[in-house]
Amino acid sequence: MRLFLCEKPSQGRDIAKVLGATRRGDGCLIGTETTVSWCIGHLLETASPEAYGEQFKSWSLDHLPIIPAQWMVEVKPKTAAQFKVIKRLLSEASAVVIATDADREGEMIARELLELCKYRGPVQRLWLSALNEASIRNALSSLKSGQETFLLYHSALARSRADWLIGMNLSRLFTLLGRRAGYDGVLSVGRVQTPTLRLVVDRDRAIASFISVPYWEVEVHLSSMGQPFIASWLPPSSGQDEAGRCLQQALAIQAAQEISSGKTATVLSLQTERFREPPPLPFDLSTLQEVCSRKLGLGAQETLNIAQALYETHKATTYPRSDCRYLPESMFNEVPAVFDALLKTDPALQPTFGRLDRSLHSRVWNDAKVTAHHGIIPTTEPANLARMSEQERQVYELIRSHYLAQFLPHHEFDRTQVELKCGTERLTAVGKQILIQGWKGLLYENTEEDEPSQKHQVLPVLQQGTQCAVNDAELKSVRTAAPKPLTEGDLIKAMKNVAKLVNDPRLKQKLRDTTGIGTEATRAGIIKGLIDRGYLLKKKRALMASAAAHTLIEAVPAAVADPGMTAIWEQALDEIEAGRLTLDAFVAKQANWIAQLVEQCGALTLAVPVEAGPTCPICNASMRRRKGKSGPFWSCTHYPDCKGTVPIRKDTRRS
């Protein structure tokens, strides 16, 4: 019997249908010579510390670091029944085809089961980019060898073990240090979550420390041959700051008066430059999350859930957890089939299709830039829009538009910058003349939303020496604005492009520009976890760090919270996948680093906010507030070695 091992029941049903495995079994679907079964995500998890010794049940600095000599996994209680099904099927299987999601976590979900159940037979890999029938049949006809994707498993194991070492050891370490200082909460530390939290804390600090500075602008209303346009006053170099702003009110008032009293402004020079903007590429997951946050107000996890539903439930789009925005050259042959499917899905697209050029070969078709996955695009099978929720349809239409944009011309425009003189004052005006609307007629990408409106104006015909009438000069008082709080989309973008935020020259040299923190598959979950733990607070679309988050980031060593260091670790996981670094070497380095941190930080005193309490009646140590079944009470900070307590009277309790 050949066993297909899938990641989810829905995925299993789709593959079983194509294989003809239609007879229902216990946790599986059975065909003539083929059985399809499925996990429910990870059926196994890395064993908790107490599995390595009874002493680890209690949290103590004396027991740190906890570094397993032999790693253990445990069956998740909630899915133990399905594990038994798979264990039995593996014992009967003559061959296994791994059909989990085509990424390193999918590889690990299957491989950890094969290893625990001691399966030693042949293994092949089904590598799917979409769950529609045509894509499944195509993938079945070109199965990969199991060896070809085996190192993905080691990369995932390395990620899992590094996360465990850091999470279990440093969370215990800093929670215990916090308790010693009187902090009555858990300080959770994670390999990716803590540097991600640092990004928000840094933004909060930048906002809190920002001092707004007033500056002045002069907006000049001009006209030539009856056509009005707007110019801006250029302060003299002696009156500018580094950003070219005028900080001297008297200077701006004087300029406004001189310009107002002048009747004309003369064109000194003008320069026109032509721009050609190619259509935006199809989405990878991070870019989709970023755009959906900005346009639709969706959280990162919401976007991922919707993209997963479009892939799994509706079969409308391809694999969502992609880190690539390009398409393989071979998929150009599928364009007619995709177009046919899109028209059947939504006949209202007919006028749009009349403007598309199917022969256009945009930059998206590039084998050299395709990774394990390609960009997220529509599939070759029609979808049912009526079955989609409003948000699903909105996300689907974004994905669809970015695909169709590849078959429209570049957006072309001329940008003209003019310099003028009015008396002794100099002015500048910028204009834009659209020549070819191109893809922007389909995709209303608001790429210019942060630019002043006068940059989009159409200028009259001007040449050197042209005299323009001065109609008005308006003095404007402006203040510098603080940085904006991060949204989930901003945070996803910062996690992905963390190399740009790294200042350490040594890290920057090592760090590839393509290396971020977390992966396409995990970033949304990291952000959700920080929100669920109360480290991140969400107000409308804005994210802010809680007081506990600031406490944690101030407490942990810089390397633990450094996004650049975490990105270096992510880079190491890529090296394992490529076969240039071994799993054991990576984990050994992590273990050594953890041991050093525990030794260095064990004697730290954390600066955490704490309510002043009484001294312990037994050992005279300070006491901290704790919560019990009957309400709050004072407990000795040397607990459990000292079990001294003092009750808190009701009239002194905090509300």
CATH code at position 176: 1.10.460.10
Query: Which one-letter DSSP state was computed for residue 141?
Result: T
Give how far Cα 370 sits from Cα of 139, 280, 365, Å.
Answer: 17, 16, 9
pLDDT, one tens digit per residue, over 162-190 is: 999 999 999 999 889 888 877 777 888 99
- Strands 425-436, 227-234: pairing kind: antiparallel
Q: Please check whether residues 471 and 489 belong to one and the same domain.
A: no
Tracing tokens 């020496």 back to the chain, one arrives at 465
Q: How confident is the model at residue 449 (pLDDT cuts 50, 70, 90)?
A: very low
Q: Please check whether residues 306 and 336 belong to one and the same domain.
A: yes
Q: Please check whether residues 550 and 454 belong to one and the same domain.
A: no
Q: Please check whether residues 371 and 424 belong to one and the same domain.
A: no
- Three state DSSP letters for 484-516: CCCEHHHHHHHHHCHHHHCCCHHHHHHCCCCCC
Half-sphere exposure of 495 (CA within 13 A, CB side): 35
User: How far is Cα 248 from Cα 241, in angstroms, rounded to an integer?
Assistant: 10
Q: Please check whether residues 475 and 560 belong to one and the same domain.
A: no
Write the CB contacts of 320 (distance below 8 Å, at least 6 apart in sequence). 285, 288, 304, 307, 308, 310, 311, 376
Q: What's the one-letter identity of residue 504?
A: D
Please determine, for residue 26, whether its predicted confidence score (pLDDT) is greater than 90.
yes
- Given this model, what pLDDT does residue 620 score? 67
User: How far is Cα 252 from Cα 246, in angstroms, rounded to an integer?
Assistant: 7
User: How far is Cα 96 from Cα 105, in angstroms, rounded to an integer?
Assistant: 18
3-state SS, residue 277: strand
- 384-395 burial string, b = 16+ CB within 10 Å, else e? eeeebeebbbeb
pLDDT, one tens digit per residue, over 284-325 is: 999 999 999 999 999 999 999 999 999 999 999 998 988 889
Question: Percent of the chain at pLDDT above 90?
Answer: 67
Q: 530, 196 in Cβ contact below 8 A? A: yes
- Given this model, what pLDDT does residue 102 score? 85
Q: Taking the mean position of all CA atoms in its chain, how far away is CA 203?
A: 16
User: How far is Cα 265 from Cα 469, in angstroms, rounded to an integer?
Assistant: 6
Residue 166, classified by CB atoms within 10 Å of its CB into exposed (0-12), middle (13-18) or buried (19+), is buried
Tokens of residue 497, six digits: 């492009």
Mean pLDDT of 259-270: 93
Please determine, for residue 25, whether its predicted confidence score (pLDDT) is greater than 80.
yes
Tokens of residue 88, six digits: 């039995």
Tracing tokens 């939290």 back to the chain, one arrives at 197
pLDDT, one tens digit per residue, over 141-167 is: 999 999 999 999 999 999 999 999 999
Give how far Cα 319 sits from Cα of 11, 46, 399, Å.
Answer: 12, 27, 12
Residues in the chain: 655
Write the CB contacts of 649 (distance below 8 Å, at least 6 apart in sequence). none
Q: Please check whether residues 138 and 10 belong to one and the same domain.
A: yes
> Nearest to residue 581, comparing CAs of 592, 593, 564, 568?
568
Q: Please check whether residues 274 and 289 belong to one and the same domain.
A: no
Note whether residue 220 is domain-resident.
Answer: yes
Which residue range(s) make up the domain with 534?
A: 159-206+485-600
pLDDT, one tens digit per residue, over 218-240 is: 999 999 999 999 999 999 988 88
User: How far is Cα 407 from Cα 327, in angstroms, rounded to an integer?
Assistant: 14
Q: Please check whether residues 34 and 109 belong to one and the same domain.
A: yes
- Identify the domain boundary among 142, 172, 198: 142
Q: Per mean pLDDT, which range of 143-157, 182-196, 540-554, 638-652 is the poorest?
A: 638-652
- Given this model, what pLDDT does residue 654 score? 29
Mean pLDDT of 557-568: 84
- Given this model, what pLDDT does residue 527 score? 94
User: How far is Cα 511 from Cα 29, in angstroms, rounded to an integer?
Assistant: 46
Please determine, for residue 655, whether its predicted confidence score (pLDDT) is greater than 70.
no
Q: How confident is the model at residue 474 (pLDDT cuts 50, 70, 90)?
A: very high
- Given this model, what pLDDT does residue 447 score? 47
Q: Name the most confidently modeled range: 132-141, 393-402, 537-546.
A: 393-402
User: Which is the catalytic residue, given 153, 319, 396, 535?
Assistant: 319
- Given this model, what pLDDT does residue 650 score? 47
Note whether residue 83 is domain-resident.
Answer: yes
Note whether residue 646 is domain-resident.
Answer: no
Q: How confident is the model at residue 652 (pLDDT cuts 50, 70, 90)?
A: very low
- Report how many domains make up the chain: 4
CATH classification at residue 292:
1.10.290.10
**84 or 626: whose pLDDT is higher?**
84
Note whether residue 376 is domain-resident.
Answer: yes
**508 or 587: whose pLDDT is higher?**
587
Helix segments in 405-546, DSSP class H: 488-496, 505-510, 523-532
3-state SS, residue 300: helix
Q: 112, 44 in Cβ contact below 8 A? A: yes
User: How far is Cα 513 from Cα 121, in angstroms, rounded to an integer?
Assistant: 40
Please determine, for residue 514, whether its predicted confidence score (pLDDT) is greater than 70.
no
- Given this model, what pLDDT does residue 632 score? 72
List residues bridging with 327 in a β-sheet: 365
DSSP string across 89-101: HHHH-SEEEEES-
Q: Please check whether residues 591 and 506 belong to one and the same domain.
A: yes
**435 or 638: whose pLDDT is higher?**
435
Tokens of residue 267, six digits: 């064109």
- 357-372 burial string, b = 16+ CB within 10 Å, else e? eeeeebebbbeebbeb
Give how far Cα 237 sits from Cα of 246, 251, 270, 545, Å.
Answer: 9, 12, 20, 40
CATH classification at residue 427:
2.70.20.10
Q: How confident is the model at residue 40 (pLDDT cuts 50, 70, 90)?
A: confident
Tokens of residue 556, six digits: 């942990």
Q: Please check whether residues 37 and 106 belong to one and the same domain.
A: yes
User: How far is Cα 407 from Cα 133, in angstroms, rounded to an integer?
Assistant: 26
- Given this model, what pLDDT does residue 83 score? 96
The pTM assigned to this predicted structure is: 0.79
**39 or 625: whose pLDDT is higher?**
39
Write the CB contacts of 432 (distance below 8 Å, at least 6 apart in sequence). 413, 414, 415, 416, 455, 456, 457, 458
The torsion angles phi and psi of 481, rounded to 5 degrees, stand at: -100, 140
- Identify the domain boundary among 363, 378, 407: 407
Please determine, for residue 610, whether its predicted confidence score (pLDDT) is greater than 50.
no
Q: Name the most confidently modeled range: 387-401, 453-467, 596-610.
A: 387-401
- Given this model, what pLDDT does residue 612 score? 46
Q: Please check whether residues 471 and 545 belong to one and the same domain.
A: no
Note whether residue 554 is domain-resident.
Answer: yes
Note whether residue 334 is domain-resident.
Answer: yes
- Given this model, what pLDDT does residue 274 score? 96
Q: Per mean pLDDT, which range of 360-369, 437-446, 456-465, 473-482 is the poorest?
A: 437-446
| Annotation marks residue 183 as catalytic | no
- Identify the domain boundary among 461, 479, 497: 479
Q: Please check whether residues 402 and 430 belong to one and the same domain.
A: no
Please determine, for residue 586, whether its predicted confidence score (pLDDT) is greater than 70.
yes
Half-sphere exposure of 460 (CA within 13 A, CB side): 18
List residues bridging with 325 in a β-sheet: none
Write the CB contacts of 131 (distance below 8 Å, at least 6 apart in sequence). 11, 14, 311, 312, 315
- Given this model, what pLDDT does residue 611 score? 45
Note whether residue 68 is domain-resident.
Answer: yes
Query: Which one-letter DSSP state was computed for residue 192?
Result: T
Please determine, for residue 617, whether its predicted confidence score (pLDDT) is greater than 90.
no
A 10 A CB-CB count for 352 gives: 18
Note whether residue 560 is domain-resident.
Answer: yes
